[in-house]
Amino acid sequence: MKIILGIDTTLDQCSVALLRGTECLSDSQQMQRGQAEILMPKIITLLRKADVSFSDLNMIAVTVGPGSFTSLRIGLATAKGLSLAAQIPIVGFKTFEVLAHSIPTSENNDSNLLVAIDSLRADIYCQLYNPQLIEIESATTLFPEDILNYTGFKNLRAIGNGIHALKEQLSQYHPHVIFPELGASPTSEVLCQMAMKLSPLDYQNSDLRACQPFYLRPPDVTLPR
């Protein structure tokens, strides 16, 4: 039976999950700081609870961003270290797709899905999916006033911790827009389930360098004049 460890530290939380077949153990804690301290002890406790050792793992799944730069690197550096040391394949998922897959399938309908993530700045990280959760537009950063150019006027659902800033704009033209009370943070359980569904071909070729951070924003620095 396939055993997958999932790690997410992207959006103000420290979340780890262990999926064995259909049985899932997880531990999630909301926090803005301190993931570097508690992440590894959480993973060890989880494995111990499930009586699983690192060498039993078949795969590590990790959220690669966007999110806070430092905290996404906490999860990713840990996943890369585990992958290197235990020689386990590692797969990275964008924060957007983990959130998109957090919506119960019964809620899926013919609307596009906007996943909006707070960037802690004036603009918002955005990714638009079609009803089948295929990316329609590339992920980008947008100011609230530009959101309608990005989403178009088709039926829309919107989730993520960035939707609050967009609510006003979206509601004007999307009278039926739904804001499921979901998607504050991605969950490591969903991450594991997504990894479980991958075919071997999807990750067989993943080497150490395949799983890189997805910042969606360059470092905040300007060239000296």
Partner 1 sequence: MLDKCMIILGIETSCDDTAAAVVTSDRVIKSNIVRTQSTEHLPFGGVVPEIAARAHIEVLDQLIKNALDQANVTFKELDGIAVTGGPGLIGGVIVGVMMAKAIAAVHNLPFLAVNHLAGHALTARLTNDLEFPYLLLLVSGGHCQILIVHGANHFQLLGTTIDDAVGEAFDKIGKLLGFSYPAGPQIESLAKNGNPKRFPFPRPLVGGVKQTSPYAFSFSGLKTAVRTCIQKHLSLTCKDKADICASFQAAVGDVLSDRCHNALKWCEDKKLPLQSLVVAGGVAANEYLRKRLTLIANEHNVNFVAPPVALCTDNAAMIAWAGIERLNLGLSDGLDFAPRPRWSLEEI
The binder of partner 1 chosen from 2, 30, 32, 34 (CB under 8 A): 34
The binder of partner 1 chosen from 25, 38, 133, 182 (CB under 8 A): 38
Task: Say if residue 137 is exposed, middle or buried (CB neighbours under 10 Å; 0-12, 13-18, 19+).
Answer: middle
Residues of this chain, 189-208, that bind partner 1 according to CB under 8 A: 208
The binder of partner 1 chosen from 50, 77, 136, 184 (CB under 8 A): 77
171 binds partner 1 (CB under 8 A): no
Q: Least separation, in Å, of the C-beta of 110 and partner 1?
A: 40
80 binds partner 1 (CB under 8 A): yes
Close Cβ partners of 195 (under 8 Å, ≥ 6 residues apart): 4, 6, 19, 59, 61, 91, 93, 203
* Closest to partner 1 by CB, 69 or 203: 69
The binder of partner 1 chosen from 69, 135, 137, 144 (CB under 8 A): 69
Q: Least separation, in Å, of the C-beta of 79 and partner 1?
A: 8
The binder of partner 1 chosen from 52, 86, 148, 182 (CB under 8 A): 86
Q: Read off φ and ψ for residue 92, nearest 5 degrees.
A: -105, 140
Per-residue DSSP letters for 26-68? EEEEE-SS-HHHHHHHHHHHHHHHTT--GGG--EEEEEEESS-
Distance CA(102)–CA(196), nearest Å, equals 15
Q: Least separation, in Å, of the C-beta of 215 and partner 1?
A: 7
**CA torsion sign, 69 to 70 to 71 to 73?**
positive
The binder of partner 1 chosen from 41, 104, 175, 200 (CB under 8 A): 41
Q: Least separation, in Å, of the C-beta of 34 and partner 1?
A: 7
Six-digit token string for 81: 């270290």
The binder of partner 1 chosen from 22, 51, 85, 204 (CB under 8 A): 85
The binder of partner 1 chosen from 30, 32, 70, 108 (CB under 8 A): 70
> What dihedral angle (degrees, nearest 10) is formed by the CA atoms of 127, 10, 63, 34?
180
49 binds partner 1 (CB under 8 A): no
> What dihedral angle (degrees, nearest 10) is formed by the CA atoms of 220, 152, 181, 74?
-30
Distance CA(97)–CA(214), nearest Å, equals 12
Which residues of this chain interact with partner 1, rule CB under 8 A? 34, 36-41, 43-44, 54, 69-70, 73-74, 76-86, 208-209, 212-213, 215, 219-221, 223-224
